[in-house]
Structure 1
Amino acid sequence: MESLVSYPAFESIAKRYPQAASSLFATYNDLLHAQRWEDLEVLDLPPCNRGALKGRKPNTDSTLFVVPCSMSETLSTSWLIDALRTLDEPDGIYLAISTEDSSIVYYRISRGFAKPPL
């Protein structure tokens, strides 16, 4: 991982939270290269023991937050609340769940109940 071009962007966070480094790596590269997000930043998320990502989808002005995790991890509602509080995003965050084959599924997590669009 250290030899990759994108590694310096998340090196300090990956060293701080090695158990979450592979999910951060996979999500960062997916958002940067496949999804073409702009202004992508790696953030420290100490209550969740991992890094998070902040950026914008192409041709949009809205800043979005993504918290990477692995499919093999067990998450709790208190963990999600900590992520929402720390990122202080009233519209919610995206949870990026990665698998061993590098597939990533994104779920939108909101505070409280959110009515889906019809």
Structure 2
Amino acid sequence: MESHPSYSAISGLLRKYPTAGASLFQTYNDITYAQEWADIEVIDLGEEYSRGAIRGRRKLGLDEGGGFQLEFSYAVPCSLSEVLSFQVLKGAFHRLNTEDIYLAITSEDASIVYYKLSNGIVKPPV
């Protein structure tokens, strides 16, 4: 892992929160290389939540003109075998000061699923 190009960007949080490190590493690489987000930054959610999050601007589809979104999106990595409390999710919304986060659920077979979570009750788009 230490020889991977992305290691230097996330090494501090990998050492600080080793139990959440694999999910952070997998999500960071997916967002960087597969999803191709721009202006990516790793954010420490604090020792209370023992994990980091990822901030960046998502790539727009070709039908949306290409380029990147103007507003930032946030991903909170966790593993499939992990149990996250509502306290952790509430803390992530508060610390990231956003209305939406993507919960990035990783598994041991390197697959990853993103669930968009909204803070409070939100009417779905029509």
Tell me the SS of whatever aligns to 2:33: helix
RMSD: 0.9
Where does 1:86-105 land on structure 2 (aligned, <5 Å)?
86-89=95-98, 91-105=99-113
Runs of at least 5 residues in structure 2 that lack an aligned partner in the other structure: 60-66
1:110 and 2:111 equivalent? no
What is the TM-score with the length of structure 2 in the denominator? Answer: 0.89
Letter in 2 for 1:71: L
Runs of at least 5 residues in structure 1 that lack an aligned partner in the other structure: none
Structure 1 ranges of 4+ moved more than 3 A = none
Percent identity over the alignment?
49
What is the TM-score with the length of structure 1 in the denominator? Answer: 0.95
* C-alpha separation in 2, matches of 1:15 and 1:76: 23
Where does 1:1-118 land on structure 2 (aligned, <5 Å)?
1-46=1-46, 47-58=48-59, 59=67, 60-89=69-98, 91-118=99-126
Tell me the SS of whatever aligns to 2:70: coil
Distance apart, 1:78 and its partner CA: 1.3
